[in-house]
Amino acid sequence: MPDRHTLTADCTSCFALCCVALTFTRSADFAIDKRAGDPCPNLRPDDLCGIHDRLRPKGFAGCTGYDCFGAGQQVSQVTFAGRSWRDAPETRDRMFAALPVMRHLHELLWYLTEARSLAATREIHAELDAAIADLEQATAGDADAVLAIDVDARRAQANPLLTRTSELVRAGAGRKKDRRGADLMGAKLAGADLRAANLRGAYLIAADLRGADLRRADLIGADLRDADVRGADFTDSIFLTQSQVNAARGDHATKLPQRLARPSHW
């Protein structure tokens, strides 16, 4: 099973791929427009961000909400064997194209690894182990192999296991709210009992979740941008990621799963 650290971004081992390969669109998340392939003007020659400690006040909140799940260092150090696009310009296009593919694979690995760590999923541990091993093998390939991967097919293969994980974790919680894909933008949910709720893919943008109880809730793909989660309880919630947490507005009273870090801007 992969170490959690390999599924966590390590910018010091990456060739600043997200700062170059991705598109920025001037908005509340980005202060500028930037085309894919153009280095961000804040990128330093050593591949680190020149305003890393001031991203949000400088208008780059989108950067603080982005998480590559360790895909950046995997592409940099494994797929391209430590050869930077700066030193080998001929690798640029393929390296940048490999990043989103690897990110999808690492995101799936994050979810499957979390599922495997849960006692409630004991009956499917063998299947989870097999799925994780298969994905790990895929991420270890060279550039040609990575670029040939069908990401949609990989997601389709993993989804039944993630769905079964959700069912097992949320079982025994009585009547559970099913708000999968629900439009809850700006919803008034302060103090709501959302224990073991299915919030997969729910739109919770700017929702008021102050003091809400989200223990054992399934939050895979839920959009928590600008959601007010001050005092909310996410203990034992499943499939919550660091990028979702970073995009929300919490405080010292917000309870998070142990695997996630409290954002510095809270």
Per-residue DSSP letter, 266: -
Give residue-wise pLDDT tens across range 5-42. 789 999 999 999 999 999 999 998 999 999 999 999 99
Backbone angles phi, psi at 203, to 5 degrees: -95, 100
Are 166 and 246 members of one domain?
A: no
With a pLDDT cut of 70, the percent of the chain lying above it is: 98
Chain-centre distance of CA 257, in angstroms? 14
Are 95 and 198 members of one domain?
A: no
Query: What string of DSSP letters covers 97-145?
Result: HHHHHHHHHHHHHHHHHHHHT-GGGGGGHHHHHHHHHHHHHHHTS-HHH
Angle at 194 between CA 188 and CA 198, to 5 degrees: 110
Task: Taking residues 93-98, report their average pLDDT.
Answer: 97
Q: Is residue 78 part of a domain?
A: yes
Give residue-wise pLDDT tens across range 110-164. 999 999 999 999 999 999 999 999 999 999 999 999 999 999 999 999 999 999 9
For the chain, the domain total comes to 2
Give residue-wise pLDDT tens across range 66-86. 999 999 999 999 999 999 999
pTM: 0.93
CATH code of the domain containing 236: 2.160.20.80
- Residue ranges making up the domain that contains 107: 4-22+66-170
Are 195 and 114 members of one domain?
A: no
Are 177 and 218 members of one domain?
A: yes
Q: Is residue 32 part of a domain?
A: no
